[in-house]
Amino acid sequence: MRFGERSRPGQSVNLFGRRAAISNLVSVEYVVVAGGGGATQAGGGGGGGFRTNVPGATSGRGASAEPEMLITRGVSYTATVGGGGSNSSFGTTTISSQSVVSQAGGQGPGGAGGCGAGDDWPIGNRGAGAAGQGYDGGAATGSFSGNESGGGGGGAGAQGGDSSSSSGTGGNGGNGQSTSISGSSVTYAGGGAGGTRFGVGGGSGGTGGGGTAGVSGSTNTGGGGGGSRGSHGSPQYGTGGGGSGIVIVRSTTAAASTTGSPTITTTGAYTVYTFTGTGTITW
């Protein structure tokens, strides 16, 4: 008989093995944000890839929440927090299907990644964001009186803005994606602002840690670095590096042990583990 069916007269029922298997699993919800991409010229760096399986929440690029993750008790799961330009992940090498990897943000100008980097005039190549993680970078639409400017980096919640050919202003970084996994709404993975040749008229960083022109993305947000540019591509006015990522997991069952000193909080029935550096967790 199948689980859930009624037994017929004379038919034996043994659910002990199934109950034991179910009790050995723990349902876990996560947000995994990769490190944001840095900028080397005027195009802003892309935000880090953003993935979540919190029911009813939104992953990067407007995707639906990912499926439930069932953790096996007694198995150590590793949270890897990427620095600027590096992937973040949560999972175990023991069970290959239970591993979530968010891609690092694209490096400006024009790099692909979790969120794509902004274009830099006259390169003509906006970076592509990854499906389910983040949006593309903005275009560099031309120069104004010799003031070449770059597009904003893509964010997890919106595409990077195009630069302006009429004013020479760099594009704004795309906004990041919000999550309430910790109990209050926080936004991550904003794109870096597009910069300009002469260091003036740069765009704004996207919400979620995106750097303004010449400024790095915020730490543990996955924000992209802001672009800026001097003559002939030299970073005369400075460029921003990508912000580091973050891994947050929660469950209604408290973990048995952790390493890496995650911050442990509660919200409602959930215990929340926030990793700002690499560590492990075991239920």
CA distance 214 to 150: 12
Classify 191 as helix, strand or coil: coil
54: Cβ–Cβ under 8 A, 6 or more apart, which residues? 29, 30, 31, 65, 179, 180, 181
* Bridge partner residues of 30 (DSSP): 249
**In the sheet that 99-102 helps form, which strands lie side by side, from edge to edge?**
99-102, 88-91, 76-80, 279-282, 257-259
Which tens digit of pLDDT belongs to each residue from 36-79?
Answer: 999 988 899 999 999 999 999 999 999 999 999 999 999 999 99
pTM of the predicted structure, to 2 decimals:
0.89
Which tens digit of pLDDT belongs to each residue from 190-224?
Answer: 999 998 876 567 889 999 999 998 899 999 999 99
Look at residue 125 in the predicted model and tell me its pLDDT: 84
Are residues 117 and 107 in contact, defined by beta-carbon separation less than 8 angstroms?
Answer: yes
Distance between terminal CA atoms of the chain? 32
